[in-house]
Amino acid sequence: MNARLCWALVFSSSLPGVDGDLCQPCHPAVVQVWSRNGMGRSIQPASALSPGYYYHRRSNRHYRIGNGRIRRHQLSQGQEINVVDKTVEFLIGSGNHAYTPVHRSLAGTWIQSPVSWYRESASWNMSPGFDRPDHLDFRRPITPECLFCHSAYPRAGAEFPRTIDCDRCHGAPSRHLQEPRRGTILNPAALSRSKQLDICLQCHLETASQDFGRFLARTTPQRFLVSAW
């Protein structure tokens, strides 16, 4: 894939977006297009939750989603039992295909919701890996690996992860912000083809591609398949 094709792909979809901070004043068009891309909306606020209900037969659990919360119950002789009620903190995923809500455990860790929203059916269903009688329910931590692929580099003092942003492909912008011209920030167009691909393969690991083995051999923190979430 050449860089222009990358660029065309990166900017291929269109849905309402989020802000674009530091680069906005000088690159407004790029920021605007980026904010419509799935990657530019990879983390969403809890307010974007679509209300819904899902009954999971195999684990006999009812899930109700709405008003920034996820509530689970079971039924025994018509009575609700085993009620769990969680406040959603943020969502992982733009919803172009799916998103999964995240809440906090009592110990303060981020936990993945057992149910996710899927665009294909425009409805709630079990999160990947949860469609079984003995699933983890409200106990599956959001790992640093999820966030490595789904958010911007962490910023000191930020309460929540932020949407993937420019730094993830252009590197640290400090020199460019002091000297705003060509040559003071990484432009992937200037890289060799394999280095261009490496930028995307940080997160887009394709099991079928030869690059996968090469990438894994070299990179330890991301030994995860996209399909594993």
Chain residues that interact with ligand HEC, rule: CB under 6 A: 3-4, 6-7, 9-10, 12-13, 20, 22-23, 25-27, 30-31, 34, 37-39, 42, 92-100, 112, 143, 145-146, 149-150, 164-166, 168-170, 173, 176-177, 180-183, 185, 187-189, 199-200, 202-205, 222, 224, 226, 229
Distance CA 105, CA 50 (A): 22
CB of 126 to ligand HEC, least distance (A): 13
CB of 39 to ligand HEC, least distance (A): 4
CB of 55 to ligand HEC, least distance (A): 21
Distance CA 67, CA 54 (A): 16
Nearer to ligand HEC, 48 or 84 (CB): 48
Distance CA 224, CA 203 (A): 9
Which residues lie closer than 8 Å to 138 by C-beta, 6 or more apart?
72, 84, 86, 103, 105, 111, 113, 114
Could you tell me which residues are beta bridge partners of residue 125? Answer: 116
CB of 206 to ligand HEC, least distance (A): 9
